[in-house]
Amino acid sequence: MKKLHLKSLLIFLIVFVSGTAMAQEKINQLDAQGRRTGVWKKYYDNKNIRYEGQFEAGKEIGVFNYYGELNSKQPIIVKTFSEANDIAQVTYFYDGGTLQSEGSMKGTNRIGKWLYYNTDGKTIISEENYENGLLNGTVTTYFSTGKITEILNYKNGELYGNVLRYSSEGILLDDLQYENGELHGPAKYYDVAGKILRKGLYKNDEKVGNWEYFENGEPITPAKIRE
């Protein structure tokens, strides 16, 4: 009986070890064409997990979790890949696990609308629009109260068009025009009461022509400006 028991135990250990080895062999595999397939996991030098997810014929599918080097419990990035295309829904997290930002990516490029949040993970502090990884279209930023602080417009990653800036009370402070990332066109500046301070034209980031200056909304004469 003892020999039979020992034999059964040895068979069990062999099966267990073989099964464990086979399970390990199923991770980080390549198919016959050399493409990544199945479950993949990569680790930092300190043995903490770097990312985990699944491939099919070299393409990411489903959910991928990415971790910081010092925290292998809470992912700092979660990407959910579509089986139909190369677009992934991406979520970034602060170190504590609260939501930091979310949007879509195609490869390494951000595309479409992205939302950025305060450290509470709920209050939106910025809305951005991307095309091929570059800011393109309107970018709106907010005070923590929810009021708008800036409305910017971008073209191919550079400021282009109207730029509006507001005080925390919602008063318009700057009304500017940009072209290729430089101030270009009419510009108006206001005080915190909403009264005009100065206005004029920019060309290639430099003031041109005659600028007008105001005090309490009333024009200031050139002589008074020199004083």
- pLDDT tens digit sequence for 186-227: 999 999 999 999 999 999 999 999 999 999 989 997 655 554
Alpha helix segments (H runs only) across 85-193? none
Token pair, residue 36, equals: 């990544």
3-state secondary structure of 113: strand
Q: What tokens appear for 152 in the block? A: 């910017």
Distance CA 210, CA 189 (A): 15
As a whole number, mean pLDDT of residues 104-115 equals 96
pLDDT of residue 26: 87
Q: How far is CA 94 from CA 90, 108, 118, 120, 165, in A?
A: 14, 20, 10, 10, 28
CA distance 94 to 21: 36
Given this model, what pLDDT does residue 8 score? 53
Neighbours of 50 (CB within 10 A): 15
In this structure, are residues 200 and 209 in contact, taking their beta carbons and an 8 Å threshold? yes
- At residue 126 the predicted structure's pLDDT band, cuts being 50, 70 and 90, is very high
Residue 19 tokens, joined: 């099964």
Residues 199, 204, 207, 210, Cα dihedral to 10°: -70
Residue ranges in the chain assigned as alpha helix (H): 2-25, 222-226
What's the whole-model pTM score?
0.82
DSSP state of 95: T
Catalogue the long-range contacts made by 44-52 (C-beta closer than 8 Å, 24 or more residues apart).
44/69, 48/72
- The CATH architecture to which 29-226 belongs is Alpha-Beta Complex (3.90)
d(CA 186, CA 106) in angstroms, rounded, equals 37
CB 75 within 8 A of CB 92: no
What percentage of the chain has pLDDT greater than the value 90?
Answer: 80
| Predicted confidence (pLDDT) at residue 25 exceeds the cutoff of 50 | yes
DSSP 12-43: HHHHHHHHHHHHHHTSSEE-TTS-EEEEEEEE
Distance, CA of 200 to CA of 174 (rounded, Å): 12
Q: What is the pLDDT of residue 31?
A: 94
Average model confidence (pLDDT) across the chain = 89
- Confidence label for 10 from pLDDT (cuts 50, 70 and 90): very low
